[in-house]
Amino acid sequence: MKKEILIIPFFGWAISRLKPIPINRKLKFESLKKVIDVGGKRIREGYCVLVFPEGTRKRPGDGIGKFGTSCGVLASNESVPIIPICHNSGKYWINKSFSKKGGEIEVIIGKPIKGNHPKKLTEEARSWIERSYSEIC
C-alpha cells in the first residue's frame, strides 16, 4: 500500500497494525523488490498477501489497466497460487473524489491460478479479472 496512508490519523495508525508492506510508488524498482522480499517472508510466516497489481484505482469506464508483475513473481517464487478477485467498487467509490455513491458492490473470487512463470501467471490473472469485470460493470 502507499506509505502515505499510514500517516492518516486513526485510520492509518489502525491499518499499520495489520503489517502492510508500505511502498513509495515513485520508486518502482525498489517497491517491487520490497513487495517480493517482504511479501515472500510474510507468506513463509503463514500470512496471505493481498496485491493490487494495477497500482491505483481507475475510472470504471477505463476498464482494467496494465498489471505489474509483483503478484506473478511473488506467487512463482513462493510456490503459492494467485487467487484472483474482481469487484466493481469503483462505480460507487469514485476515483479522485471524496464522495461515495450508494449501491451494491459485487465481488467475484476466482479459482486459484498456479504456475512458475511470473509473466504468464500475471497475464492469466489479468485476463480472468478482465472477463469478470466485463460481467459486473
Distance, CA of 39 to CA of 93 (rounded, Å):
27
In terms of residue numbers, what domain contains 130? 25-136
Check pLDDT > 80 for residue 58.
no
| Mean pLDDT of the region 31-37 | 93
- Domain membership of residue 53 (yes or no) is yes
- Domain membership of residue 10 (yes or no) is no
| Mean pLDDT of the region 48-53 | 91
- Domain membership of residue 62 (yes or no) is yes
- Domain membership of residue 31 (yes or no) is yes
- Domain membership of residue 18 (yes or no) is no
- Domain membership of residue 15 (yes or no) is no
- Model confidence at 137, in pLDDT bands (50, 70, 90)? confident
pLDDT in tens, 14-25: 999 988 999 998
- Domain membership of residue 44 (yes or no) is yes
Q: What kind and span of H or E run contains 86?
A: strand 85-87
Domains in the chain: how many in total? 1
| Mean pLDDT of the region 34-45 | 96
Per-residue pLDDT, 71: 93
pLDDT in tens, 68-125: 889 999 999 999 999 999 999 988 888 777 788 899 999 999 999 999 999 999 999 9
- Domain membership of residue 3 (yes or no) is no
